[in-house]
Amino acid sequence: MKIVVIGGTGLIGTKLVNKLREHGHEAVPAAPNTGVNTLTGEGLAEVMKGASVVVDVSNSPSWEDAAVLNFFETSTRNLLKYEAAAGVGHHVALSVVGTDQLSESGYFRAKIAQEKLIKESAVPYTIVHATQFFEFLKGLADISIVDGKVHLPPVLFQPMAAEDVASAVGLIAVGPPVNGTVEIGGPQQFRLDELVRRRLASLKDSREVIADPKALYSGARLGERTLVPGENARLGETTFETWITKSAEKMPTATSSAA
Ligand X SMILES: NC(=O)c1ccc[n+]([C@@H]2O[C@H](COP(=O)([O-])OP(=O)(O)OC[C@H]3O[C@@H](n4cnc5c(N)ncnc54)[C@H](OP(=O)(O)O)[C@@H]3O)[C@@H](O)[C@H]2O)c1
CB of 235 to ligand X, least distance (A): 15
**Please, which residue, 39 or 211, has the CB nearer to ligand X?**
39
Residue at shortest CB range from ligand X: 10
Type of residue found at 246: K
**Please, which residue, 33 or 232, has the CB nearer to ligand X?**
33
**Please, which residue, 111 or 151, has the CB nearer to ligand X?**
111
CB of 20 to ligand X, least distance (A): 15
How many whole angstroms separate alpha carbon 232 and alpha carbon 53? 24
CB of 86 to ligand X, least distance (A): 16
**Closest C-alpha to 93, from 55, 138, 45, 146:** 55
- Angle ∠(185,150,199) on CA atoms, nearest 5: 50
How many whole angstroms separate alpha carbon 193 and alpha carbon 69? 28
- Angle ∠(31,35,38) on CA atoms, nearest 5: 50
Distances (CA, A) of 73 to 10, 41, 69, 246: 19, 13, 6, 36
**Closest C-alpha to 59, from 28, 102, 13, 123:** 13
**Please, which residue, 169 or 255, has the CB nearer to ligand X?**
169
**Please, which residue, 133 or 243, has the CB nearer to ligand X?**
133
CB of 229 to ligand X, least distance (A): 11
How many whole angstroms separate alpha carbon 207 and alpha carbon 24? 45
**Please, which residue, 225 or 259, has the CB nearer to ligand X?**
225
CB of 111 to ligand X, least distance (A): 6
**Please, which residue, 19 or 111, has the CB nearer to ligand X?**
111
CB of 160 to ligand X, least distance (A): 9
Backbone angles phi, psi at 15, to 5 degrees: -65, -40
Contact 17, 25 (CB under 8 A): no
**Site residues for ligand X per CB under 6 A:** 6-7, 9-13, 31-33, 36-39, 57-59, 61, 75, 94, 96, 111, 130, 132-133, 136
Contact 174, 238 (CB under 8 A): no
CB of 115 to ligand X, least distance (A): 11
